[in-house]
């Protein structure tokens, strides 16, 4: 389950253990650093006394594993509501296999490196954050979460605690190895939508920080900068969410050889072209039915109305300043807006999982994996 390395007195700092998930050490392996002092604090009193008497202490393997798993669950996989326990087992299995990434083009590697580097930086923002930012996809759409198990053979999903995090190098390589006719476009759009996922997550984090600041500091002020910044931040999130939906639709189309969707500017026309070009048997798949419902224009009315300004014309004005002046902090609509955009981000993430499940099926059809389904953790 874990592989451990000791780093001793690096640059004069205290000893650290580097704990990797899985049994293989290769580019893209997932690891967590554990300071020796953190392990010592978790040690039993008896062991501490004996260690002080003998001037010798070695943490037990169980202690290391417990501390490492706690870090991985908190920082990466999330709670059971995030499907974190199952994703942990799946990633440990995936990280114990040898990865052959020889089919990647140079620009594929550059894009994958960029996304995975950004993932590390995005997660640093979330080290101390509110539980309100968890997507809780297993609570919202448990049947979509279960799709990740067979997907591991082509597009391994690592986490969707705050945004969709996949093993990007492996996914891009799977697309190349299968010689998918739309490989270039698929990698480009997948790169873009993964980037949008993280931009949305970052913007939601910033939005919540500004709401928190407004709650603490508005007092009797007429209007404060935190509210203005939050309104501007919300506008940005709505644009990210809409762009993400459009790119997910294009990925579904490209998977099945429909390559002209991005040229259609109206959402309804794009959706009609997708529906007409897809194999009819797809509409029998439960997860595709779920996705297509989320893509529908009716489902996106609230999102579109915020973006178009229609709600402003109706006098609702959640994103206009006159709904904030002379208002107490508990009556301003920032939390209402947060709930709208956070819910849509969760829906987008579930839709993306479905789109990648469809792509996985196509890649398996083009390049059947040498893995028995029974080997994959359930």
What is the per-residue pLDDT for 305?
A: 67
What percentage of the chain has pLDDT greater than the value 70? 90
SS3 for 158?
strand
At 139, is the secondary structure helix, strand, or coil? Answer: helix
Check residues 62 and 368 and name the one with the higher pLDDT.
Answer: 368
More confident residue, 58 or 19: 19
Count of CB atoms situated within 10 Å of the CB of 31: 20
Top-confidence residue, 92 or 18: 92
Q: Is the pTM of this model over 0.95?
A: no
Q: Report, as an integer, the average pLDDT of 178-187.
A: 97
Convert the pLDDT of each residue in 194-218 to its tens digit: 999 999 999 999 999 988 888 788 7
Query: Which of 39, 29, 50, 53 shows the shortest CA–CA distance to 6?
Result: 39
Give the span between the Cα atoms of 199 and 239, in whole angstroms: 11
Which of 6-15, 56-65, 360-369 has the weakest average pLDDT?
6-15
Instruction: Quote the pLDDT of residue 137.
Output: 96
Task: Among 2-16, 158-172, 363-377, name the one with the lowest average pLDDT.
Answer: 2-16
Question: Which pLDDT value is given to residue 72?
Answer: 86
**Residues 206-262 pLDDT 10s:** 999 988 888 788 777 778 788 888 888 888 998 899 899 999 999 999 999 998 888
pLDDT band at residue 168 under the 50/70/90 scheme: very high
Report the alpha-carbon distance of residue 38 to residue 34 in Å, rounded: 7
Q: Do residues 3 and 64 make contact, with C-beta atoms less than 8 angstroms apart?
A: no
Terminal-residue alpha carbon distance, the chain = 16
Task: Give the chain's mean pLDDT.
Answer: 85
Question: Which has the higher per-residue pLDDT, 35 or 11?
Answer: 35
Q: What is the pLDDT of residue 163?
A: 97
Going 366 to 371 to 375 to 376, the CA torsion angle's sign is negative
Position 12 scores a pLDDT of 38
Alpha helix positions (H), the chain: 36-42, 45-54, 61-72, 84-94, 106-125, 137-140, 142-145, 148-151, 168-177, 183-217, 225-255, 267-277, 286-295, 301-308, 310-313, 334-366
CA atoms of 241 and 340, how far apart (whole Å): 11
pLDDT above 90 coverage of the chain, percent = 46
| pLDDT tens per residue across span 292-341 | 888 876 767 666 666 555 444 544 467 777 777 767 777 678 888 899 89
The CA distance from 132 to 113, in Å, is 29
CA 219 to chain centre: 36
pLDDT one-digit tens code per residue, 84-120: 999 999 999 999 999 999 999 999 999 999 999 999 8
**CA-to-CA distance for 347 and 290, rounded, in angstroms?**
10
């Amino acid at each position: 389950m874990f592989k451990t390395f000791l780093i001793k007195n690096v640059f004069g700092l205290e000893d650290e253990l580097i704990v990797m998930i899985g049994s293989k050490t290769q580019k893209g392996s997932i690891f967590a650093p554990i300071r020796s002092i953190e392990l010592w604090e978790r040690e039993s009193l008896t062991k501490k006394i004996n260690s002080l008497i003998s001037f010798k202490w070695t943490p037990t393997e169980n202690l290391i594993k417990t501390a490492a798993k706690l870090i991985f669950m908190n920082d990466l996989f999330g709670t059971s509501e995030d499907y974190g326990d199952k994703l942990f087992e799946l990633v440990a299995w995936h990280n114990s296999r040898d990865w052959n990434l020889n089919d990647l083009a140079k620009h594929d590697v550059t894009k994958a490196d960029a996304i995975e580097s950004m993932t590390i930086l995005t997660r640093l923002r979330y080290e101390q954050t509110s539980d309100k930012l968890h997507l809780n996809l297993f609570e919202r759409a448990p049947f979509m979460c279960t799709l990740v198990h067979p997907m591991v053979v082509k597009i391994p999903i690592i986490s969707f605690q705050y945004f969709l995090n996949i093993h990007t190098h492996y996914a891009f390589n799977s697309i190349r190895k299968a010689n998918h006719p739309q490989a270039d476009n698929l990698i480009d759009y997948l790169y873009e939508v993964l980037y949008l996922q993280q931009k949305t997550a970052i913007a939601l984090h910033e939005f919540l920080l500004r709401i928190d600041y407004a709650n603490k500091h508005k007092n009797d002020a007429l209007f404060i900068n935190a509210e203005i910044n939050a309104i501007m931040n919300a506008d940005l999130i709505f644009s990210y969410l809409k762009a993400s939906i459009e790119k997910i639709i294009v990925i579904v189309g490209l998977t099945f050889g429909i390559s002209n969707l991005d040229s259609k500017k109206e959402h309804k026309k794009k959706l009609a072209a997708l529906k007409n070009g897809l194999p009819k048997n797809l509409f029998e798949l439960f997860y595709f039915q779920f996705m297509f419902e989320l893509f529908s224009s009716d489902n996106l009315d609230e999102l579109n109305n915020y973006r178009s300004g229609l709600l402003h014309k109706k006098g609702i004005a959640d994103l206009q300043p006159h709904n904030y002046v002379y208002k107490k902090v508990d009556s301003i609509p920032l939390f209402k807006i947060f709930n709208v955009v956070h819910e849509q981000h969760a829906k987008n993430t579930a839709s993306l999982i479905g789109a990648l499940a469809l792509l996985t099926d196509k890649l398996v059809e083009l390049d059947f994996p040498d893995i028995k389904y029974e080997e994959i953790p359930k």
